[in-house]
Amino acid sequence: MATGSGRRRPRVSNPIGVFDSGLGGLTVVREIRRRLPSESIVYFGDIARLPYGIKSKEQILSYSIQNTLFLVKRKVKAVVIACNSSSSAAFRFLKNHFRLPVIDVIEPAVQSAFVGIHRNGVRIGVLATSSTIATGAYEKAIHKKDPSAKVFQMACPLFVPLVEEGWREGKIVRDIVKYYLRPIKRFRPESLILGCTHYPLLRPVIQREMGPAVRLIDSAKPTVEKLSSLLNENELSYPDSRRGFLKIYVSDLPRNFIRVGETFLGEKLHHVELVRQK
């Protein structure tokens, strides 16, 4: 497998690569555009093989390698795994086999969940896909930070299809959210990690159901903070006055892609190209 091990050092003007199983990673792209506006971005959404969250770790790893190679061929200078399922199944492999900075969304989210908490035994909830929970990635990361932390995880398999279809409000959405959150409300977490990049689109409904005392953790902001730090450490930041470009590739182009994608991104979608992963 070609891993880019022979690549020359990337130029600072090269884009940042971001991939996700679908549209959820655009929440991370939106934060990059806000925090690092001069950086260009190449995004790949593997919509044809969505959802990753119900697939085996081996299958997700295979997809993640293909997605990273796709981005490397487009001369990216760093890769953001904007997918919790891929982060849990493939981060270590990608970090060890590609000679460029690779950032996941799990470790930054866990670090953020502890901000402002200065005692042991914190109660942290995690909403995620079945595959992410099965890897134990969040539980391991939380207990590495605080071995006495109490963790409650809940798989929410219907959240991704709801969001991909553009369903963010309404009785059906509220009923599904209420169903999934019932056990975690009894746990009474102090922080609740939205352990899938699709889930922040349901944040208002989730927050209303959990109540204002529970702090919701969206991985986008801490992930981009980590990205910014790694770019600086590797002297890859691009301090230009012009706004960077955004190029979007998808493996399928559903009818409502533009409408839903613009909701994720918070801006108009341009330059969307359909590609087929083999």
Of the candidates 50, 71, 192, 196, the residue annotated as catalytic is 196
Q: Is 196 a catalytic residue?
A: yes
DSSP assignment of 98-164: SSS-EE-SHHHHHHHHTTT--SSS-EEEEEE-HHHHHHTHHHHHHHHH-TT-EEEEEE-TTHHHHHH
CA 130 – CA 157 distance, rounded (Å): 7
Contact between 74 and 41 (Cβ < 8 Å): no
Q: Is 156 a catalytic residue?
A: no
Helix (H) or strand (E) holding 60: helix 57-72
Q: How wide is the angle at C-alpha 130 spanned by C-alphas 16 and 24, nearest 5°? A: 30
Phi and psi (nearest 5°) for 20?
Answer: -150, 170
Burial of residue 213 (number of CB atoms within 10 Å: 0-12, 13-18, 19+): exposed
Q: How wide is the angle at C-alpha 137 spanned by C-alphas 42 and 248, nearest 5°? A: 10
Q: Which two tokens mark 98?
A: 């590609």
CA 180 to chain centre: 20
Of the candidates 42, 47, 83, 205, the residue annotated as catalytic is 83
Kind of pairing between the strands at 102-103 and 16-20: unpaired
Contact between 93 and 106 (Cβ < 8 Å): no
Active site residues: 83, 196
